[in-house]
Chains A and B, each alone.
Chain A
């Protein structure tokens, strides 16, 4: 499936069709029983100039919607949230030295954490790519 390109006010945002989304602009991708989490192209373009990402401890148990850590850009800070409940099984250590990966490759090398979900059905309750694309359309002004 090809990606969706959302155009709003002269700006373009990629929405990948192989994963699910949150209202708070995280993406989640189910892969072999583990959910990979990152922030969306829209989120990285809003934040821009990302200089640091706060990573959780491996083993931390997250609740759906819980604040996981902070993403710092040059002058602003934004939290990111757990898309579903589960245990953190891996964090992207590359982000410590190269936080700009969040800007350069938000859906790939810029992934943030991997979660072992408590209830895989929560994944199905996340926003579909179409619903997220619609959310961006409405949200940008």
Chain B
């Protein structure tokens, strides 16, 4: 329904910078993610998902934050805020994902840092918490008298993710021979791809496939998108991005983690992996609670649920309860249809006493209790 508003009222609807281009030229269906209006899908989420798994797809991930941290105390700041040892990151590399905790060892955000040099880092916070994280970082800087400047580059650059087994081939066909030489998590600044100026290219992504994330000015990236599409790259929307990350067992804020201790277990229960926590590191926010959680042992743990064959393609939704016989043992945090497995899959927190890999549980799907198997991540073989 249209809202009737008088002409002197302005409703601010933030859109990612190239939004109109996706909707008008590429036929994207719009939707909302956090504060942003984004393309949800182009031709179909299943096609887009499979293109990323078997060929190559392109996401616009400009809804995520892009932040510059600059000054002599950046490493000290990062060591204080994040669970990973940031002193080991080499220049020209990303840190790998790490966690910013609150004092209850609940997760504020999972983030990636990029080390340009000792005193210059880039940071990608998630869309939903970008502004909250920036003000949190600023408050830490001021209360601890760190010499760090924070600049929000989110609106200055767009951010694309070229993902899939053909990603290297596509970059090389555009003259970026160096792209294939980048190691996982390595990045380069101020490059050119087929005459298009890009600010940053990294060998990274959030789909479980090989690929690149590219930052650049909006008009420049718009030209790059056309070049990608001419080479058979499939534009993909945020629904496919969500099903791809669920197949990999990657977490999402407000689903698998959040700050509220009454809703989310401690960060350890996430089983985040990827070296996000460095136990030998001391003095980070939430450390005391995190160690207490480690010593006491976990009440809940995140596991995968793979729906049984009888469920067809049905899958449980966020909040669906999980049962062993008639006992309520946990809840679903994310679920979707897995195009690769042709089966419903989900992530759930389960009471650790019942969290036995390979065992069967029942999960509520539209009011029926259907059989599912407890499995590890990722759901698909990689």
Residue numbers of A with Cβ under 8 A of B are 48-49, 51-52, 54, 69-70, 72-75, 77, 96, 99, 141
Contacts and interface: CB of A to CB of B under 8 A. Distances in A.
Contacts of B83: none
Interface string B162-173: 000000000000
Interface stretch (B52-60, B131-139, B311-319): B311-319
B336 interface: yes
Contacts of A54: 314, 366
B1 A141 contact: yes
B339 to A, nearest CB: 8
Nearest to A69: B366
B34 interface: no
A70 B366 contact: yes
Contacts of A77: 317, 366
Contacts of A69: 366
Nearest to B243: A74
B366 A49 contact: no
B314 A49 contact: no
A62 B45 CA distance: 33
A75 B313 contact: no
Interface string B338-356: 0100000000000000000
5 contacts: A48-B45, A49-B44, A54-B314, A72-B337, A77-B366
Contacts of B312: 52, 96, 99
B337 to A, nearest CB: 4
B256 interface: no
Interface string B354-379: 00000000000010000000000000
Given A54-B366, A75-B243, A141-B1, A99 B313 contact: yes
Contacts of A48: 41, 44-45
A74 B314 contact: no
Interface of B: 1-2, 41, 44-46, 239, 242-243, 312-315, 317, 336-337, 339, 366
4 closest cross-chain pairs (CB), A and B: A51-B313, A51-B337, A52-B313, A74-B45
Contacts of B242: 75
A69 B366 CA distance: 9
Contacts of A75: 45, 239, 242-243, 336
A110 B299 CA distance: 46
A97 to B, nearest CB: 8
Q: Give chain B's interface secondary structure class.
A: loop
A52 B2 contact: no
A98 to B, nearest CB: 11
A113 B1 CA distance: 31
A74 B46 contact: yes
A48 B49 CA distance: 14
B314 A72 contact: yes
B76 to A, nearest CB: 41
Contacts of B366: 54, 69-70, 77
A20 to B, nearest CB: 25
Given A49-B44, A72-B314, A74-B45, 14 more contacts: A48-B41, A48-B44, A48-B45, A49-B46, A51-B337, A54-B366, A72-B315, A72-B337, A74-B46, A74-B243, A75-B45, A75-B242, A75-B336, A141-B1
Nearest to A95: B312
A141 B312 CA distance: 34
Nearest to B343: A51
A133 B359 CA distance: 51
A137 to B, nearest CB: 13
A134 to B, nearest CB: 16
Highest count of chain A CB atoms <10 Å: which of B242, B243, B314: B314
A120 B379 CA distance: 50
Contacts of A74: 45-46, 239, 243, 336-337, 339
Nearest to A76: B239
Contacts of A99: 312-313
A141 B2 contact: yes
Contacts of B239: 49, 74-75
A110 to B, nearest CB: 15
Nearest to B242: A75
A70 B2 CA distance: 27
Nearest to A141: B2
A105 B213 CA distance: 39
Contacts of B1: 141
A140 to B, nearest CB: 11
Q: Which of B1, B41, B336, B337 neighbours the largest number of chain A CB atoms within 10 Å of its CB?
A: B337
A83 to B, nearest CB: 21
A69 B45 CA distance: 23
Contacts of A70: 366
